[in-house]
Amino acid sequence: MHFWGQKLLVKLIEAASTANRQKPNEAVAASVDRRNSPNDSLGEHEGLEALRKQLTGIADVVFQTGKTVKGTTFTLVYVETITDKKALRESLLQPLLYQPETVSGQDLDPSALALTSTSVGTNATERIVFAMMEGKTAVFSAKRVLLFDLKNIQSRGIAEARNEMVIVGPQEGFNENPEDNLSLLRGILQHPDLKVEKFILGRYTRTQAFLIYIEKIGNVQVLEEIRGKLQTIDRDAVMGASLVIEYLENYPFSPFPELQYTERPDTLAASLLEGRIGLLVSGTPNAIIAPVSFFTLMQSAEDYYQRFLSASWIRWIRYFFVLVSFLFPSVYVAITTFHPELLPASLLLTIAAARENIPFSSLIEAFIMEITFEALREAGIRIPKPIGQTISILGAIIIGQTAIQTGIVSAPTVIVVSMTGIATFIIPHYELGLSFRMLRFPVLLLGGTLGLLGVILAVFLIYLHMVHLKSFGSPYMAPLSPLTTDGMKDVFIRANWRAMDKRPKVFGTGNLKRTSRKK
């Protein structure tokens, strides 16, 4: 038995040698020594040893040594959890091991590889480490280090835009990978004037931020301001766009947003064509747009995919219900408390009968229901999606009905608060809707204490603040204040495309002309 075992072992060794000569992929595995232990010696380079010390304690870092057919020794270093192993084996290892005979045996020849490489010195340890953390593979040879981009970082695929849905028009939305987002954007704007500048934010997160604009159209002053502010961000971590926005804002205590979020590539492209500046931040499935105005935040992507008459009608509905979402509870409380003579007699008797046994004033009633509605709204977001919508709707119905039956609140108050909550969802942009939700409470308090005078005072103060507010130098209420007739073509109505032949002046673009048509 021992004799037959030795004979079988000899045959297996011969078969393996023959296979290595005939099958390159298997030869790769046989010719490369994969080493993870810090006690192994991987070469004579001081730079390689310094890199090993720098990467001590990182379990997913791999060191591999190999030798080409001409005898050149090399070492591969990469992070296996963010590296495309198939591309590493087929596009890098195999060509390295089987370089042509014309290649010198003293060093590797990157021109013999199909991959694009970056050459650095063997002592550039810090640069090599950060390149590897981004997904690059380092190849140490006799005199230099070659960096190859073979990263394979997992990300969510392209999906529908969930918060800016349209019936007519593209359905695709951004994801958390800025490279995918740039690909979607370049699929729309296929012109070399689309410029992209890259920034690295956060010492530990190394978050990528891409500043995007169209040359000869983008606002140069806004571009310089954003670029300067991005360069001043010095933090250990930048987890997403929300932190970047707080560094970019000029009025951090204003309830109104100075920048616009969008998850739609077509919205970002249209904004860039208006002369605005875009920003993509890794880890955030939204683009940031600056500058903005109140009226741009009230526009929906679907306005530009429908006929202009239909889009204008929808805008009138939207502006009306924005006023409802903001003022309806305050006006109701002010009238029922201080100005009942403004109501028809029959309606006044109905409200009085409904409130006959209610122990609270209209102001307290409205506050109770508004706080309850906000709680239900937030609970609906946090509850798992399959049951969240059902529970939030049933919860609102059950709580409202029970509150009426027990005499805590009256039926008219429940109707007013429900209509207000529904109207809030008509606002196209979440940040602007949240601003009105916050301001609703101080306006409600003024309406409940000073009557309609308090409501008018609140509206005046808010409008005064909005008139003085600027987004990167652009008036927040333009083109209404200051009034410009050309800009009114895309505010309360959406004019015919033939009439909108100029870019909005409010965003400071140096190129107002959209079309070459002669009048």
Chain-centroid distance, C-alpha 444 = 34
Residue 505 confidence class, pLDDT cut points 50, 70, 90: confident
Question: What pLDDT was estimated at residue 93?
Answer: 82
Better-predicted residue by pLDDT, 64 or 38: 64
- The mean pLDDT value of the chain amounts to 83
Sorted by where each begins, the domain ranges of the chain are: 30-149, 160-292, 318-475
With 70 as the cut, is the pLDDT of residue 170 above it? yes
How much is the pLDDT for 330? 95
- Kindly tell me if the per-residue pLDDT of 409 is higher than 80: yes
pLDDT band at 143 (very low <50, low <70, confident <90, very high): confident
- Range name among 135-139, 379-383, 418-422 with the lowest pLDDT average: 379-383
pLDDT in tens, 285-343: 999 999 999 999 999 998 999 999 999 999 999 999 999 998 999 999 999 999 999 99
Whether the predicted pLDDT of 395 surpasses 80: no
Q: How confident is the model at residue 42 (pLDDT cuts 50, 70, 90)?
A: very low
pLDDT band at 390 (very low <50, low <70, confident <90, very high): low
Higher-pLDDT residue of 116, 76: 76
Lowest-confidence segment of 29-38, 116-125, 491-500 by average pLDDT:
29-38
Nearest partner of 63 among 54, 72, 313, judged by Cα? 54
Above pLDDT 70, what percent of the chain? Answer: 84
pLDDT of res. 394? 64
What residue spans of 258-361 are helical by DSSP H?
Answer: 265-273, 294-297, 308-338, 345-354
pLDDT(25) > 50: no
Q: Which of 75, 71, 64, 78 lies closest to 33, judged by CA?
A: 64
Report the number of secondary-structure helices (H) and strands (E) in the chain. Answer: 18, 15
Amino acid, single-letter form, for residue 276: R
Which pLDDT does position 38 carry in this prediction?
A: 39
Distances in Å between the Cα of 28 and the Cα atoms of 12, 21, 67, 73, 104 are 19, 11, 10, 14, 20
- Residue recorded with tokens 């030795």: 6
